Amino acid sequence: NAGVTQTPKFQVLKTGQSMTLQCAQDMNHEYMSWYRQDPGMGLRLIHYSVGAGITDQGEVPNGYNVSRSTTEDFPLRLLSAAPSQTSVYFCASSYGVRGGTGELFFGEGSRLTVL
């Protein structure tokens, strides 16, 4: 199993450009989520999904869009990149978040720089 795969690992954008960070998991996990991590900070939740066709906002959703058309994939779209979105992005998945199923598996991260 590959686990959680994120692409790209590195990306440089100009202000106003759009892009999509890809996340795929092969563990048949229902729950998937996106976090961003800035220097010296913990991880902040952007969006999450509890199953195909269901998404919800996290702590810092503004400027980001998600969709969940399949169980495996959970792409994160930056609609119009801003320097404040310079960060490291992590995708994570699990069977669930309650009842002892909540071990999150993380991707390797995507480092995004917006100039």
To the nearest whole angstrom, how small is the minimum distance from the Cβ of residue 16 to other proteins? 28
* 97 lies in the binding site for other proteins (CB under 8 A): yes
Q: Which is nearer to other proteins, 17 or 22 (CB)?
A: 22
Region of 43 (left: φ > 0; alpha: ψ -120 to 50; beta: rest) is beta
For residues 102 and 99, what is the distance between their CA atoms, to the nearest angstrom? 7
Give Rg (Cα) of the chain: 13
Range 21-50, binding other proteins (CB under 8 A): 31, 33, 35, 41-45, 48, 50
Tell which one of 92, 93, 112, 114 touches other proteins (CB under 8 A).
92
Region of 2 (left: φ > 0; alpha: ψ -120 to 50; beta: rest) is alpha
Range 4-23, binding other proteins (CB under 8 A): none
